[in-house]
Amino acid sequence: MPNSLPYPGAPAASEGRSVLAIPAFRKLWNSMAISSFGDWLGLLATTAMAQELSNGDYSTANFAIAGVFIVRLLPAVILGPIAGVIADRFDRRRLMIFCDIFRFGLYLSIPIVGNYFWLYMATILVECFTLFWSPAKEATVPNMVPKNKLESANQVSLLAAYGTAPIAAIVFALLALVSNGLTSFLPENYSSTADLALYIDAFSFLYTAYIVYKLREIPKGAASKAAATENIGKSLFQGFKFVSGSKVIRGLIIGMLGAFFAAGAVIGLARTFVGDLNAGDAAYGILFGAVFAGLAIGISFGPKVFSQFSRRRIFGAALIISSSFLILLALVTNLVLAILVTIFLGAFAGVSWVSGFTMLGLEVADEVRGRTFAFVQSLIRISLILVLAIAPIVAAAIGRHTFKFSAFEVTYNGAAFTMLAAGIIGVVVGVISYRTMRDRPTISLWSDVLSASRGELGGITSKNHSGLFISFEGGEGSGKSTQTQLLKEYLESSGEKVLLTREPGGTPLGKKLRDILLDNKTGNISPRAEALLYAADRANHVHSLIQPALAKGEVVITDRYLDSSIAYQGAGRILQPAEVARISRWATENLAPTLTIIMDIPAEVGLARLQSRDRLEAEPLAFHERIRQEFLNIANSDPDRYLVVDATQAKELIHEEIVERVSKLAKLKINQTEQKRFRK
């Protein structure tokens, strides 16, 4: 869920069409989509058959459905970490054909045999073959598309994986409507909704085997010779070690598990839940599809709708809202209302999911990102097994309960009680995650909502770039220029390419504006005109210098940025800081620094260091005290993005403190030996 990592939603239409215009990849994508459709339809059919075989016994049905989920996910937990390594030793095309043919035969046999033992055994075998099919497919994609289109290829692959779930649900619901009519000329034991779905599912895999057989562009031979030597256990352990050492990542993973917990509770209990609402297989298909339709909506539109909000903040908030809808779903006794609530539940779970995976890509350093994702994926699988297995068992143990009131009575079942408990747990997890992320702790969420409605929150999230952006702020005489130069020299000695600039004056236009703004001969300028001149310099500075350097992956260090306008023209000139911030955010297209270093120094101490004073430096002491206080207020609003340094210390101590903080930034690849050498 999942800014270097793309949102795993649908790609832009033009990009999707571009990558699907490649004939070989289009054929492979068709096989992915049909295979995913078969997987989802198979899940619906096997859970429905598990309930059919219970002969109407509520507890047996819940236990049987729990068993289906366990056997579907258990192979991934046991074989998942090593299946890819083993699969990489075989010819990918032959392996995919082999797996699809066996999945065809296994799904075809389930309705023919028609008992619990073979239902579970066949499901386990299907999942084992899927574990080998998937890495072969993943290894094939980069051979089908150019490197510059690989991101789009991955996005449309995710669309094939998750976008087919609602389609499978619709097909299952339609099969439920026609199955009764088929009993007139087919044996009843072989014409149920589950049976028909399993037959279609089986032949979908036979068709994908044919597609791959015709796909001669897949390279022959093993996918990776190096895979056999990969130490999976070590990678997973290192992933756990990294996760446990990062407070932000811990909050992320707690929240992501909570999102899967809420959605998993609905999926695991959906079949018995709709049965308790006196509905059948058609309603089950619709409710199942509603979960994934909501997820698709959240993944596709969430990043756009909530673009102004901090991802850390919206992540926890979305999880709390999603779990609240789960509580509401548990209390609903009307099927139509339940479906509507489920869509909203899925949508906010999707927002949380996509925000979480995106932040994982942003917060985790490149060299440990793979093992961290491997650890997270394994943890998610284990958690899903627990919730999908335990939820139906708990529901079966609770059973049905009727509550009588003076004028009416209401019956709630074990599924409803279990979803209620899962929703409460989800809310608690969401609150813990929200607080753990420590995003803007002094600013309330409601305040952010109001600011977003006025368009004043846009500076919190910014455009994607592969570089690192560091800004220095502070009052006059704080030593910013000295520290920016020292940091530039240190980063360059560590192998980084660094651009050092300043505001105003970083560009030819900026130098002219600097003369106007700081020359004592300029005289009085109205506060609003002054703010606009600084914004004009900043807009040109970002467009012509900063953004191009960041796009090339460089480190940009700037002596002053938009926080200076908020402090000087906002607090100093007594304008509204929010208005000044909004102007600068518009001018910079919401480009925010990765880290802002505040050089804090008492105003009288800093001014005493100056040998001469320009137009702003010559302002009264009260003006500079207001500026200092505003810088501290800004830093307190988001401690994770700001570093406040005592600028009265020796410059060597200040430099060491700055280097220690900068070295922790995820996008920075400073050699550890170099860090030790510096500290010595």
CATH, residue 662: 3.40.50.300
For residue 348, being part of any structural domain is answered with yes
Residue 636 and residue 596 in contact, taking contact as beta carbons nearer than 8 Å: no
- To which H or E segment does residue 596 belong? strand 595-600
Work out the angle at residue 43's Cα, subtended by the Cα atoms of residues 38 and 44, and round it to the nearest 5 degrees: 100
Count of domains in the chain? 3
- Which of 187, 205, 230 marks a domain boundary? 230
- In the predicted structure, residue 462 carries a pLDDT above the cut 80: no
* Percent share of the chain, pLDDT over 90: 13
- In the predicted structure, residue 131 carries a pLDDT above the cut 70: yes
Strands 409-412 and 642-646: unpaired
- Which of 230, 250, 275 marks a domain boundary? 230
How many C-beta neighbours within 10 Å does residue 5 have? Answer: 20
Higher pLDDT, 252 or 554: 554
Q: Do 495 and 644 belong together in one domain? A: yes
Residue 212 and residue 218 in contact, taking contact as beta carbons nearer than 8 Å: yes
Q: Do 144 and 289 belong together in one domain? A: no
For residue 446, being part of any structural domain is answered with no
Q: Do 199 and 241 belong together in one domain? A: no
CA dihedral 215, 219, 223, 225 (to 10 degrees): 160
Which amino acid would we find at residue 604?
A: E
Check residue 229 and report its DSSP letter.
G
Sole residue written with tokens 């491997």: 374
Strands 555-559 and 642-646: unpaired
- CA 352 to each of CA 9, 156, 229, 357, 570: distance values in angstroms, whole numbers, following the listed order: 13, 20, 36, 9, 35
Q: Using one digit for the tens of pLDDT, what is the confidence trace for 557-592?
A: 999 998 998 898 888 887 888 788 888 888 887 788
Q: Do 638 and 495 belong together in one domain? A: yes
Name the H helices within 364-439.
366-398, 414-437
Q: Do 289 and 422 belong together in one domain? A: yes
**CATH of residue 401:** 1.20.1250.20
Least confident of 369-373, 470-474, 589-593, 645-649: 369-373
How far apart (Å, rounded) are the C-alpha atoms in residues 7 and 363?
Answer: 15
Helix axis angle, 651-662 relative to 480-493, nearest 10°?
50
* Nearest C-alpha neighbor of 355 from the set 402, 295, 408: 295
Residue 343 and residue 293 in contact, taking contact as beta carbons nearer than 8 Å: yes
How far apart (Å, rounded) are the C-alpha atoms in residues 586 and 382?
Answer: 45
Q: What distance lies between CA 449 and its chain's CA centroid?
A: 21
Residue 441, SS3?
A: coil
Check residue 495 and report its DSSP letter.
T
Mean pLDDT (the chain, rounded):
77
* Paired residues of 302 in beta bridges: none
- Rg of the chain taking only CA atoms, in angstroms: 29
**Domain limits for position 572:** 468-679
Q: What is the model's pLDDT at position 9?
A: 39
* Paired residues of 470 in beta bridges: 557, 595
- In the predicted structure, residue 483 carries a pLDDT above the cut 90: yes
pTM comes to 0.59
Q: Using one digit for the tens of pLDDT, what is the confidence trace for 214-255?
A: 887 776 655 444 443 444 455 455 555 655 666 667 777 777
Residue 395 and residue 269 in contact, taking contact as beta carbons nearer than 8 Å: yes
Q: Do 206 and 245 belong together in one domain? A: no
Q: Do 489 and 518 belong together in one domain? A: yes
How far apart (Å, rounded) are the C-alpha atoms in residues 509 and 517?
Answer: 12
Q: Do 218 and 261 belong together in one domain? A: no
For residue 669, being part of any structural domain is answered with yes
Q: For the residues 408-413, what does the mean pLDDT come to?
A: 68
How far apart (Å, rounded) are the C-alpha atoms in residues 288 and 252?
Answer: 26
How far apart (Å, rounded) are the C-alpha atoms in residues 113 and 412?
Answer: 35
Q: For the residues 505-528, what does the mean pLDDT come to?
A: 86
Q: What is the model's pLDDT at position 247?
A: 66
Give me the phi and psi of 480, to 5 degrees please.
-60, -45
Least confident of 89-98, 119-128, 352-361, 456-465: 456-465
- Which of 199, 230, 261 marks a domain boundary? 230
For residue 184, being part of any structural domain is answered with yes
For residue 321, being part of any structural domain is answered with yes
* Nearest C-alpha neighbor of 34 from the set 136, 104, 110: 104
Sole residue written with tokens 């953004």: 547
For residue 450, being part of any structural domain is answered with no
Confidence of residue 667 (pLDDT cuts 50, 70, 90): low
Q: Do 165 and 131 belong together in one domain? A: yes
For residue 174, being part of any structural domain is answered with yes
- Residues sharing a CB contact under 8 Å with residue 392, sequence separation 6 or more, in sequence order: 62, 63, 65, 66, 69, 268, 269, 272, 415
- Residues sharing a CB contact under 8 Å with residue 91, sequence separation 6 or more, in sequence order: 220, 221, 222
Q: Do 79 and 158 belong together in one domain? A: yes
Both tokens of residue 137? 């497919």
How many C-beta neighbours within 10 Å does residue 410 have? Answer: 11
Q: Do 377 and 485 belong together in one domain? A: no
For residue 455, being part of any structural domain is answered with no
Both tokens of residue 166? 């609602």
* Paired residues of 644 in beta bridges: 598
Residue 383 and residue 260 in contact, taking contact as beta carbons nearer than 8 Å: yes
How far apart (Å, rounded) are the C-alpha atoms in residues 236 and 250?
Answer: 16
- To which H or E segment does residue 470 belong? strand 468-474
How far apart (Å, rounded) are the C-alpha atoms in residues 590 and 221?
Answer: 48
Q: Do 346 and 250 belong together in one domain? A: yes
Q: How much of the chain is helix, strand and coil, in % rounded to 5? A: 70, 5, 25
